[in-house]
Amino acid sequence: MGEWIGKERRARRCYGFDEIALVPGTLTINPKDVDTSFTLDNKKFSVPILASAMDGVVDVKFAIEMGRLGGIAVLNLDGISTRYEDPQEPIQRIIKADNDKVTEVIQSVYAKPVKEKLIAKRIQEIKSKGVIAVASCIPQNAERFSKIAQEAGLDIFVVQATVVSVKHISSEYKSLDLYKFCKSLKIPVIVGNCVTYEMALELMKTGAKGILVGIGPGAACTTRGVLGIGVPQVTATIDVAKARDDHFKRTQQYIPIITDGGMRTAGDICKAFACGADAVMVGSILARAKEAPGKGYHWGMATSHENLPRGTRIYVGTTGTLEEILFGPAKVDDGSQNLIGALATSMGCLGAKNIKEMHEVEIIIAPSIQTEGKIFQVIQRVGMGK
């Protein structure tokens, strides 16, 4: 029912990753014997991590490397790679911009229109290396861009916006009919983002093969500050997971959910799976890879909006190769490297043989979990106190 926040008005308490912890049961498993893979539309991926469609994270070279390592990298079809023949030049402008001018610089960079020929070219460049090609765009461009990308060999298409709904009203442009869109494409469609049980159920009915969960939790996103909307990722993931399970009971169609954003460490990723995620989408963690085009810089997807920017540029640094970040060996102690090793170890400690069994582990509310006993780390700014 929620708590009273004023006269005749209640509000529900919601939770983020820093406020919970996972509890081991009576069984432990050798991490080498657990299965961290996930399945999307009958395709199995050994790495249950998607690199988010952000231009500081994913370009063609990064997508190829992520695919080679068994994961998915999503290319932004509304981004720099499809606006410029040489994406590095505008990226360098963003990297070198002063903090007080960077938003204006990003807006000017993205003012150049998307070139349709570059959409096909980028997809073909990824496919030429024999890996899965996945790309994303906003709903307004989905019909046009998806046809070009599908003909070029795209494997999975993502329709992504701050909030995606089945019923969208606009006097300015034609709304995307998600039912018709998902049915018309010959490739699977992932749709997002959403944070509620009701919206997730509606999106699952469209024929989407995956649902993105999260509004505003990303490290470079300012949506929650600008618009005041969002639900902490623990609660959002649990609610959408319930929708997935109820949809499966009614239809026997299992639609994977992908928790998108808000995860700073491998521990957060483990918590996302315990909350019900089938896979996760991350940006800032992978922006630290040597292969990332941003060279340690990372900016939000809506930073470039010409009228109401909802993101910023941040510096996350470069800590290692993509392979080291995913599989180790970790050279740092803060949980930002060897993500798959950490996930497997957590699953082993929790007695979960696979991702679906992770959905059943015990979760407790533990707001002191990050600070309990860590006073020296906090004072010295090392380990969990950084």
Q: Summarize pLDDT for 188-198 with one digit per residue, the tens.
A: 999 989 999 99
Strand partners of residue 11: 3
Residue 264 in domain? yes
Q: Which CATH number belongs to the domain containing residue 117 in this structure?
A: 3.20.20.70
Residue 76 has pLDDT above 90, yes or no: yes
Residue that wins the pLDDT comparison between 335 and 386: 335
Residue 126 in domain? yes
Residue 3 in domain? no
Please give the distance of CA 15 from its chain centroid, rounded to a whole number: 18
Residue 151 in domain? yes
Residue 301 has pLDDT above 90, yes or no: no
Residue 182 has pLDDT above 90, yes or no: yes
Residue 4 in domain? no
Residue 9 in domain? no
pLDDT band at 49 (very low <50, low <70, confident <90, very high): very high
Rg (CA), the chain: 20
Average pLDDT estimate for 204-222: 94
Residue 134 in domain? yes
Residue that wins the pLDDT comparison between 95 and 304: 95
Q: What is the pLDDT of residue 1?
A: 66
Tokens of 381: 């700014």
Token look-up 């490290």 returns 219
Q: How many separate domains does the chain show? A: 1
Residue 5 in domain? no
Q: What is the pLDDT of residue 322?
A: 98
**Domain region containing 284:** 15-385
Average pLDDT estimate for 71-93: 96
